[in-house]
């Protein structure tokens, strides 16, 4: 069945590529332009969470407290609840990654304002946010691979093709 529409897949892989480039590439003008492009894609994806296709919408995967508790319990019982869209932990991670990318763009912008010339803290915040995003991406990729193996549903392929097995 179709789960991830083209817009979700396009924004995911474009944002992922930009984040990896900006983490490990040179901090030149391309870095700055790409950083803003990533932030723009995240904003567009958030809008898509209200108007997009069924499984892309926040209403399909917003990680409420009770969904999180149920999901964590099911993990503890070694029988993870099946979710067609993001599971609650995956949803939480998506929100965290989006927040970090927007905060990186904001701190990158502040860093270059004349008003903060000679100040170190915007740079320090930007560098710490970059470390946070690096750690989160590692956890995110490990979780996607691990859950794919555990639940025998290839989540990474689903993010490429858009399709998942019908439950
Ligand atoms: C490097 C930076 C990356 C970032 C910032 C990132 C961020 C995200 C975000 C925000 C989502 C939610 C997508 C949405 O609802 O639109 C997501 C989903 C997903 N990402 Fe990534 N991602 C990254 C890299 C990767 C990589 C390298 C892989 C492959 C190993 C991957 C695999 C996935 C999968 C499988 C999902 C869907 C999970 C599910 O089925 O619930 N991501 N990612
Ligand atoms: C996806 C978003 C972004 C990521 C992942 C990212 C990541 C990074 C990283 C890892 C560094 C090196 C930090 C260090 O160790 O000093 C850096 C530096 C820098 N970033 Fe970004 N960045 C992003 C967006 C932006 C944006 C939007 C701007 C500005 C418009 C920007 C401007 C800069 C500048 C000027 C530096 C050099 C700072 C210095 O001189 O120490 N970045 N960024």
Scanning 52-120, the segments in alpha helix (DSSP H) are: 58-61, 65-76, 88-111
d(CA 138, CA 80): 21
Confidence bin at 166 (pLDDT 50/70/90): confident
Per-residue pLDDT tens over the stretch 87-112: 999 999 999 999 999 999 999 999 99
Q: Where are the domains of the chain?
A: 6-161
What are the pocket residues of ligand 1 if the criterion is a CB atom closer than 6 Å to any ligand atom?
A: 8, 11-12, 15-16, 19-20, 45, 86, 90, 94, 97-98, 137, 140-141, 144, 155-156, 158-159
Given a contact cutoff of 8 angstroms between Cβ atoms, the answer to whether 90 and 143 are in contact is yes
Averaged pLDDT, 135-160:
97
Closest CA to 9 of 58, 55, 40: 55
What span, in angstroms and rounded, lies between the C-alpha atoms of 33 and 136? 23
Query: What tokens does 79 get?
Result: 């029988």
Report the pLDDT averaged over residues 124-138.
Answer: 98
pTM (global) more than 0.85: yes
Judge whether residue 162 has pLDDT over 90.
yes
Domain 6-161 fold: Fumarate Reductase Cytochrome B subunit (1.20.950)
């Amino acid at each position: 069945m179709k789960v991830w529409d083209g817009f979700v897949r396009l924004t995911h892989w474009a944002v992922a590529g930009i984040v990896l480039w900006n983490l490990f590439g040179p901090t030149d003008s391309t870095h700055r332009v790409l950083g803003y492009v990533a932030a723009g894609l995240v904003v567009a994806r958030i809008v898509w969470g209200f108007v997009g296709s069924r499984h892309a919408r926040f209403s399909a995967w917003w990680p409420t407290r009770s969904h999180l508790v149920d999901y964590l319990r099911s993990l503890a019982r070694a029988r993870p609840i099946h979710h067609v869209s993001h599971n609650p932990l995956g949803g939480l991670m998506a929100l965290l990654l989006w927040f970090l990318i927007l905060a990186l763009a904001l701190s990158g912008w502040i860093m270059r304002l004349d008003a903060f010339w000679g100040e170190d803290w915007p740079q320090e915040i930007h560098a710490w946010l970059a470390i946070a995003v690096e750690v989160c991406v590692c956890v995110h990729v490990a979780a996607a691979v691990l859950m794919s193996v555990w639940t025998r549903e290839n989540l990474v392929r689903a993010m490429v093709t858009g399709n998942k097995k019908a439950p």
